[in-house]
Amino acid sequence: MWPKTDAQRTLLATAEAIAEQIASTAPAHDRDASFPFEHFEAMRAAGYLGAAVPREFGGGGHGLDDLVLAQLAIARGDGSTALAVGMHHMVIGTEVSAQRWPEAARERVFRAAADDGALINAISAEPEMGSPRGGGRPKTSLTPTGPGEWRLDGHKTFSTMSPALTFAISLAAVEDGSGDTARVLVPMDHPGVRIEETWDSMAMRSTGSHDVHYEGVAIRDSDILDRSTPGAPSRGGRPEAWFPLLVAAANLGVGVAARDYAVRFAQTRQPTGAPHPIAKIPHVREQVARMEAALIAARTMLLTAAEDFQHHPEADRELAVQLPIAKRLATETAIEATDIAMRIVGGVGLHRSEPLERYFRDVRSGLVNPPIEARALEQIAARVLDRRD
């Protein structure tokens, strides 16, 4: 059963207090598609933004299993906030695991997150390329201007938390004849960085996932986190876990919130002339049981995958298939739970004044977050069909 450790209990209590604090303002931000700065201020004040930063840099030193548990709680207060701050934790947690940045850049970012609550995200998608996971070369360019100096130009989309970011990691094509691509650490207050407020989506409306434009942004060698040559052999390393599992936690937490709402409704809704609330109707009880069973199964799979990644690196081969399974199951279960909740509640669930229609919309975002279902299923199929025992 989770939480399993005192560290998890402490972080979960912090997350639950944050969720309770932000739940009341989440509906207004959803309606306006506005960025919830006060939600991030609450997380900053609670020290939550430094949770994944190692202790030697002043952070909480929490691993993926701790953060998945906490993010499930944050999402019950507001899915948009959970999805957004999950991107921040994902960048830090992935670097803790991979150790690929230059040491000075790592210390700079980690200490800023721990000491000041600085926010960071990787913003790589582009209008023409889409996600870089498809293998395209970005149009965003990094052009040399002198010894150790570069110029960054480009246009990024789906730039989550852009109104509040301290740093952005951007993928760029290195235009020095090498054919390389590079990931560049960009302070968002640099001249030439411009945010275009384009985010007006059906789901997760207050993530601030606007477009970001780079127009002659000055970059130094020390801002380049890594370079790679397309087609070169992979450096290997651990499977990517932080992104899919934290996205899954945000969506599944919203599904749990939908369950909570439907249960409260069933327990208190007693139509005129009825002898008891609808919670006594056998069909309603059956649907609640289906919803609960699915949520428990998905939560268990998600937390087990996170725990295995954090504590059992020898299991990476198995995790390579368990991670897409956990993400897909969490997404599909969140959708199933909100569908069932809507059927239980009926027409009241369609009202914009009630949270269920927001939950119903928000969980659909998981369908487009990597790994999308087609790629997840291919990873699973390859594990089963293409290996040699």
pLDDT of residue 365: 96
pLDDT of residue 76: 98
Tell whether the model's pLDDT for residue 234 goes beyond 90.
no
Q: At what angle do helices 79-98 and 37-45 cross, to 10 degrees?
A: 50
| Average pLDDT in the chain | 95
pLDDT band of residue 233 (cuts 50, 70, 90) is low
Tell whether the model's pLDDT for residue 131 goes beyond 80.
no
pLDDT of residue 140: 97
pLDDT tens column, 48-65: 999 999 999 999 999 999
9: exposed, middle or buried (Cβ count in 10 Å: 0-12, 13-18, 19+): middle
Mean pLDDT on 9-18: 98
Mean pLDDT on 271-281: 93
DSSP strand E in the chain: where?
120-122, 141-146, 149-159, 167-174, 181-187, 193-196, 210-220, 224-228
Instruction: State the Cα–Cα distance between residues 90 and 237, nearest whole angstrom.
Output: 16
Cis preceding linkage at 191, omega within 30: no
- The H-or-E segment that residue 361 falls in is helix 356-362
Q: How many CB atoms lie within 10 A of CB 379?
A: 17
Whole-prediction pTM value? Answer: 0.95
Tell whether the model's pLDDT for residue 323 goes beyond 90.
yes
DSSP 58-102: TS----HHHHHHHHHHHHHH-HHHHHHHHHHHHHHHHHHHH--S-
Tell whether the model's pLDDT for residue 369 goes beyond 80.
yes
Instruction: Domains for the chain: give ranges and CATH numbers.
Output: 6-118 (1.10.540.10), 132-228 (2.40.110.10), 242-385 (1.20.140.10)
Instruction: State the Cα–Cα distance between residues 153 and 388, nearest whole angstrom.
Output: 46
Mean pLDDT on 130-150: 88
- DSSP 3-state helix, strand, coil percentages of the chain (rounded to 5)? 55, 15, 30
Tell whether the model's pLDDT for residue 229 goes beyond 90.
no
Mean pLDDT on 289-302: 98
Q: Give Cβ neighbours of residue 314 (< 8 Å, ≥ 6 apart).
A: none
pLDDT band of residue 134 (cuts 50, 70, 90) is low
Mean pLDDT on 238-262: 96
pLDDT band of residue 238 (cuts 50, 70, 90) is confident
Mean pLDDT on 339-353: 96
* Residue 255 Cα to chain centre, angstroms: 15
Tell whether the model's pLDDT for residue 202 goes beyond 90.
yes
